[in-house]
Chains A and B, each alone.
Chain A
Amino acid sequence: MSAILEARKLTLSYGEKMVASNMSLRFDKPEIVGIIGPNGSGKSTLLKALSRLLKPVSGQVLLMGEAIEKLPRRKVAKWMSVLPQGAQAPGEFVVYDLVACGRTPYRSSFGAFSEEDRSVIAESIHMVGLQDLTYRRMDTLSGGERQRAWLALALAQQSSILMLDEPTTYLDVHHQLEMLKLIQRLQQELSLTVVMVLHDLNQAIRFCHQIIAIKDGAVFACGTPEEVITSENMKKLYGVESIVTHIAYEGSSFLVCFPHNVCSAAL
């Protein structure tokens, strides 16, 4: 059976700079995959290439077994939703307007919104818990509410893959956790494949089933959080001395990583 999403021998460049070479990845089942790595390692570029926002220099991206550039754009948009980093919406938009944009792949050329469109929009807004703010202007919402609105947009596309580029970077710790828990819940309820670029190692550990670590444009490590997040790996990946241990709390055991010092990244 073909993978849901696959990258084969991808070579990517950003402008003049070669960012990744010969990368191969597979996303086989609905789960949450986190992509981590130092700045400039190629994480965002990789995500963009997987989302068809960037054309690879060589190699292929396959969506449901077919080459993604050959697929009609609308079809891709029905299968995959993208939440770009630092996404901006015009202040005059209300939540409903933003989420309604998610129905674009389903609208016909001269068509108005159908009943189904409207019900999907309403459903999506409910799923992120913003139903009381449906007609509030985007520029009156808090950061956390705004991100949730964008998430609702992604849900309105009724896709099975979510590509999230640093979905929590501009939020405070409360809203970061809130957002990630929401994503986790939605992934379970809707059997989504979620691929997200994260900076916070503990969030990656806590919420991801698989983690891909990228260094210098190549896959450095790939596997479960236990496998990938070790102090050896963190030293090599980020150049930090860290303590990786388990914390027991109320009957559960949480793997945590505590970086406490910088060191030079070993080769």
Chain B
Amino acid sequence: MIKLTKWLMLVLLIMSLAFLFAGGKQEKKDAGVLKREMQDFSGRHVLVPEQPQRVIALNASNLDLYYAAGGTVIGRPTTVALSAELLEKIKEIPQVGETSSPNLENLVALKPDLVLGVDVAFHHALLPVLEKAGIPILLQALPDYPSVLRTITSYGTLTGNQDKAAESVARIEKQVQQAKKWCEGKPPVRVLVIWGSPESFSMALPTSFTGNLVAMLGATNISESQTPVTAKMSVVPLSLEYVAKENPDVILLITHGADERVNEKFKKELATHPAWKNMGAVKNQRVHKLPYSLFAVNPGTQVGTAVELLASLLYPEGKS
């Protein structure tokens, strides 16, 4: 048996020497394609084709914004967090898997010349393979409202349809400016934004996307005095004592996933727990659940609608 094992080891040794040189840089045959350099949200400098013809989006927001900039994709994520009309448009397009775990093989098999991803670990993990395959990928993020507009504009340069992009931007801006005007001069409102999952509740900080929208409308986020442990945090764990002390005027709830149970759990909490029951917001029935598609995931091009909804919830008096 020792003898056999020794032979097997020898075979393995030879194989491993071969692997030492495997996977080296392979030439990509696309001379003649014009390139431009772009910087994505994570800070990487990426060489992308000037007018990409085969784009794959890995998440809903990128898909949404790219279409808003007048582009189309050849591969899409398995998600339904999109507007009905967009869903209709992309019905026939091949799927490449969930946003959090895209199927690399499907992706590469479609032979894209640009991939739009998110600045998160599970997309960073795709870099080694995509680099070897010579496929450029932009890792984007939408931390606040201005970034949505910026991204649509920059996608406009990629699609070549700058007009369409500008049009989309203008449309959104109009909605937002109107909402802002509605909120001007109104008495100050103090808001609590809660992120709920089945295990725990957190408070959204002003640095979160929804927090940014709330601040834009001139309302005060009661979590703003909370210093996060690290700069990367956009939520902090919910402290009931803190909330009771701050006594917000409005409480907004966002749940992970379109799961009704969290909503039910929260409603029960409010109805039974004495600390919640006596809070101003609860007594005045100013506790609202925000729609999943506009707030749990980034609203993308529908951010205008999201802002309008927020405005109506924060300042409901006599909406026109």
Contacts and interface: CB of A to CB of B under 8 A. Distances in A.
A and B in direct contact, judged by CB atoms within 8 A: yes
Interface of A: 110-112
A162 B279 CA distance: 85
Nearest to B2: A112
Contact of B1 (A110, A111, A112): A112
Contacts of A112: 1-3
6 contacts: A110-B2, A110-B6, A111-B2, A112-B1, A112-B2, A112-B3
Nearest to A111: B2
Contacts of A110: 2, 6
A214 to B, nearest CB: 45
Nearest to B1: A112
A112 B2 CA distance: 6
A110 B5 CA distance: 11
B279 to A, nearest CB: 64
Contacts of B3: 112
A197 to B, nearest CB: 38
Interface in B1-43: 1-3, 6
A195 to B, nearest CB: 35
B5 to A, nearest CB: 10
A110 B1 CA distance: 11
A246 B145 CA distance: 109
A104 to B, nearest CB: 14
A113 to B, nearest CB: 9
Contacts of B1: 112
A235 B3 CA distance: 62
B246 to A, nearest CB: 62
A111 B6 CA distance: 11
Interface in B152-200: none
Contacts of B2: 110-112
A183 to B, nearest CB: 34
A76 B131 CA distance: 60
